[in-house]
């Protein structure tokens, strides 16, 4: 049985989809808690946005922000607003807001 208060596993820590050393090293190198906090603050200050928009506000890579949004969704802190906006590639992207 999974303990929902386990602070040492996803979504409290970055997830690892494979057991290879590069995935584990990447997850270990991320200060996910600080980035999650920054994402929430960005949404509080500037309102809803796509991962790319939030990354731009924070001067971070979208590749660092997208997983944090997934973690924050799993933690119940952010929600899909139902809106879509084009990302840098021109594809529709979720517009995230605070829960």
pLDDT-based confidence at residue 1 (cuts at 50, 70, 90): very low
Q: What is the pLDDT of residues 34-85, one digit of tens each?
A: 999 999 999 999 999 999 999 999 999 999 999 999 999 999 999 999 999 9
Cα(60)–Cα(6) distance, integer angstroms: 28
What is the residue whose two structure tokens read 């990447």? 26
**SS3 for 12?**
coil
pLDDT at 2: 47
Average pLDDT over residues 9-21: 64
Residue 49 pairs with which residues in a beta bridge? 96
Would you state the pLDDT for residue 14? Answer: 66
User: Looking at residues 4-8, what average pLDDT do you find?
Assistant: 51
pTM: 0.75
């Amino acid at each position: 049985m999974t303990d929902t208060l386990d602070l040492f596993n996803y979504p409290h820590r970055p997830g690892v989809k494979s057991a290879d050393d590069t995935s584990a090293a990447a997850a270990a190198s991320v200060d996910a808690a600080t980035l999650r906090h920054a994402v929430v603050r960005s949404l509080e200050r500037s309102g809803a946005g796509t991962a790319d928009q939030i990354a731009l506000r924070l001067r971070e890579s979208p590749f660092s922000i997208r997983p944090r949004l997934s973690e924050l969704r799993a933690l119940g802190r952010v929600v899909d607003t139902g809106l879509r906006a084009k990302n840098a590639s021109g594809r529709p992207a979720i517009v995230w807001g605070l829960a």
